[in-house]
C-alpha cells in the first residue's frame, strides 16, 4: 500500500459551493481549459462547477471500486466465518474467524455489533445513549441534549424543535428518536420528512459555530428498541469515552422532560492480542476473544473507508471529466471559442474523456481471498 507519494494532491479544502472538491477544483478545470477562473458571475458559476465535481467524484469512486475520500458505510451485515483464514500458522492461528467488509481501505471502525442471540452488542469505540421516554414532556426550544468533547470546551447543544437545526418531538417517541439521528448525522430526514415537511438536511454547529456535530459523532437507532438512540464517538479508538452527554446545560442532569441519557462508555478492546483486530487495507476484521456464537448475519459493521491520499492521477482524471462536463454544457461556446485553428470542442471532449477513463481503468482495485 502506498502511504505517501510526492505526487499526491496535498491541498484539500472541499467546499462545493465555492467550486472546491476532494479530487479537483474549479480553478484546476479552468487552467486545463485555458480560460479565466470561474466566479459567481461566469457561466457556469463556480458553484455549478462544484456540482459537476460532486458527480464526477461519485463516478470516479464507482469506476475504481474504491475511494480516496472518507465515505461512511452503514450497517453492513456479514456472516461470521469460522476456521478458515488468509494467515494459517500450522495448527494454530491467533483468531477464531473473520469477516470481509464490502469496502477495503478501512479508515475508522465506528460500530462493530455482534449478535448474541437476544441482543446486539457493540465491541467498538465509545458509545452513549438517548432514550425518548415521553415526547409529550419535551419542550420545543428548551429540551436540550448536550454533547461535549473531552477537554476542548466544544459543546453541541441539540434542541427539540421544528427547524433544520433541531429534532422534532411533535409526533411520538420513535419519530423524535429518528429526528435526533438525522440531526446528529446531519442528513436529510428521509424517514420523517413526510410528517414534518422537512425540505433540507439537518445540521448543527458547536457552541462557537466552528465545528459540525457529524464530524465528531454518529447516531443510529437501537434496532431492538427504536425509542433509543445510540451515539458513537468518531474520535480514534476509545478516546470518545472521555466525551460527555447531559441534558439542559447541566452536567449533572441525565433525565428530564421525557428524555434519559446514558454516559459514554468504552466499548473497545482491540489489538492483535485483544478481542478483535483488523487489516485496514484489505477491509478484513478478525475476531479473537469476543465473537458471535451465531454464524449467519451475526456481524453488523458501520465504518469509514477511503484511502485519504489523493494520487495526482486521480486529480488529473477528475479534472478532465469535469472539463468534459463544461464542454458538453457550453453549447453557446461562451467560454471556449472555436477559431478554426485548433481542435474542435467535440474532439477536445472526446480526447479528455478517453484519457480520463484510461486513468480510472488503471486505478481499479479489488480484494481476492485465497483459502
* Same domain as 238, residue 152: yes
Spatial neighbors of 352 by CB under 8 A, at least 6 apart, are: 32, 320, 321, 323, 324, 327
For the stretch 86-126, pLDDT in tens is 444 444 567 888 899 998 889 999 999 999 888 899 999 99
Q: Find, among 167, 213, 157, 222, the residue nearest to 189 by Cα.
A: 167
For the stretch 193-231, pLDDT in tens is 999 999 999 999 998 888 999 999 999 999 999 999 999
Per-residue confidence (pLDDT) for residue 213, from 0 to 100 = 97
* Same domain as 283, residue 357: no
Spatial neighbors of 364 by CB under 8 A, at least 6 apart, are: 63, 64, 65
For the stretch 18-30, pLDDT in tens is 999 999 999 999 9
Question: Using CB atoms within 10 A of its CB, is residue 183 exposed (0-12), middle (13-18) or buried (19+)?
Answer: buried
* Same domain as 183, residue 93: no
CA separation for the pair 267, 147 (Å, rounded): 18
- Report whether pLDDT(371) > 60: no
For residue 261, is it within any domain? Answer: yes
- Residue after which a domain boundary falls, among 283, 305, 327: 305
Measure CA 59 to chain center. 17
**Would you place residue 65 in the very low, low, confident or very high pLDDT band (cuts 50, 70, 90)?**
confident
Residue 239: CB atoms within 10 Å: 16
Give the angle subtended at the CA of 350 by the CAs of 349 and 351, to the nearest 5°.
95
* Same domain as 228, residue 136: yes
Per-residue confidence (pLDDT) for residue 89, from 0 to 100 = 44
Per-residue confidence (pLDDT) for residue 342, from 0 to 100 = 66
- 196, three cell numbers: 414534518
* Same domain as 346, residue 242: no
**Which range of residues forms the domain containing residue 178?**
126-266
* Same domain as 317, residue 243: no
For residue 371, is it within any domain? Answer: no
Number of domains in the chain: 3
CA separation for the pair 327, 324 (Å, rounded): 5
* Same domain as 242, residue 132: yes
* Same domain as 147, residue 194: yes
Q: Is 297 left (phi over 0), alpha (psi -120 to 50) or beta?
A: left
Q: Is 360 left (phi over 0), alpha (psi -120 to 50) or beta?
A: alpha
For the stretch 145-182, pLDDT in tens is 999 999 877 999 999 999 999 999 999 999 999 999 99
The packing angle between helices 312-329 and 345-362, to 10°, is 150
Q: Which of the 8 DSSP states describes residue 296?
A: T
Q: Are 29 and 322 in contact (CB under 8 A)?
A: yes
Q: Are 15 and 212 in contact (CB under 8 A)?
A: no
* Same domain as 219, residue 87: no
Sign of the dihedral through C-alpha 95, 98, 104, 108: negative
Per-residue confidence (pLDDT) for residue 370, from 0 to 100 = 45
* Same domain as 240, residue 192: yes
Q: Is 235 left (phi over 0), alpha (psi -120 to 50) or beta?
A: beta
* Same domain as 80, residue 101: yes
Amino acid at each position: 500500500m502506498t502511504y505517501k507519494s510526492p505526487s499526491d494532491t496535498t491541498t484539500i479544502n472541499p467546499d462545493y459551493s465555492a467550486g472546491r472538491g476532494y479530487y479537483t477544483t474549479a480553478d484546476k478545470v479552468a487552467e486545463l481549459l485555458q480560460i479565466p477562473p470561474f466566479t459567481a458571475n461566469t457561466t457556469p458559476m463556480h458553484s455549478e462547477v462544484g456540482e459537476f465535481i460532486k458527480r464526477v467524484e461519485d463516478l470516479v469512486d464507482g469506476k475504481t471500486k474504491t475511494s480516496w475520500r472518507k465515505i461512511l458505510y452503514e450497517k453492513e451485515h456479514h456472516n461470521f466465518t469460522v476456521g478458515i483464514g488468509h494467515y494459517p500458522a500450522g495448527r494454530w492461528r491467533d483468531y477464531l474467524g473473520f469477516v470481509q467488509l464490502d469496502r477495503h481501505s478501512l479508515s475508522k471502525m465506528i460500530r462493530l455489533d455482534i449478535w448474541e442471540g437476544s441482543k446486539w452488542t457493540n465491541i467498538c469505540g465509545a458509545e452513549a445513549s438517548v432514550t425518548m421516554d415521553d415526547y409529550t414532556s419535551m419542550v420545543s426550544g428548551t429540551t436540550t441534549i448536550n454533547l461535549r468533547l473531552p477537554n476542548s470546551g466544544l459543546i453541541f447543544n441539540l434542541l427539540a424543535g421544528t427547524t433544520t437545526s433541531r429534532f422534532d418531538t411533535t409526533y411520538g417517541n420513535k419519530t423524535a428518536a429518528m429526528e435526533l439521528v438525522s440531526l446528529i448525522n446531519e442528513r436529510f430526514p428521509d424517514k420523517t420528512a413526510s410528517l414534518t415537511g422537512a425540505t433540507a438536511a439537518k445540521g448543527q454547529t458547536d457552541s462557537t459555530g466552528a465545528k459540525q456535530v457529524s464530524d465528531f459523532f454518529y447516531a443510529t437507532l437501537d434496532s431492538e428498541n427504536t425509542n433509543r438512540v445510540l451515539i458513537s464517538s468518531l474520535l480514534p479508538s476509545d478516546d470518545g469515552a472521555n466525551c460527555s452527554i447531559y441534558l439542559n446545560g447541566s452536567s449533572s442532569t441525565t433525565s428530564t422532560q421525557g428524555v434519559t441519557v446514558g454516559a459514554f462508555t468504552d466499548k473497545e478492546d482491540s489489538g492483535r492480542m485483544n478481542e478483535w483486530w483488523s487489516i485496514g487495507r484489505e477491509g478484513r476484521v478478525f475476531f479473537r476473544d469476543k465473537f458471535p456464537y451465531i454464524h449467519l448475519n451475526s456481524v453488523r459493521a458501520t465504518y469509514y473507508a477511503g484511502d485519504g491520499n489523493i494520487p495526482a492521477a486521480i486529480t488529473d482524471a477528475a479534472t478532465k471529466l469535469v472539463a468534459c462536463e463544461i464542454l458538453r454544457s457550453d453549447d453557446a461556446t461562451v467560454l471556449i471559442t472555436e477559431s478554426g485553428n485548433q481542435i474542435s470542442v467535440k474532439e477536445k471532449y472526446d480526447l479528455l474523456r478517453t484519457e480520463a477513463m484510461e486513468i480510472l481503468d488503471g486505478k481499479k482495485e479489488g480484494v481476492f481471498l485465497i483459502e
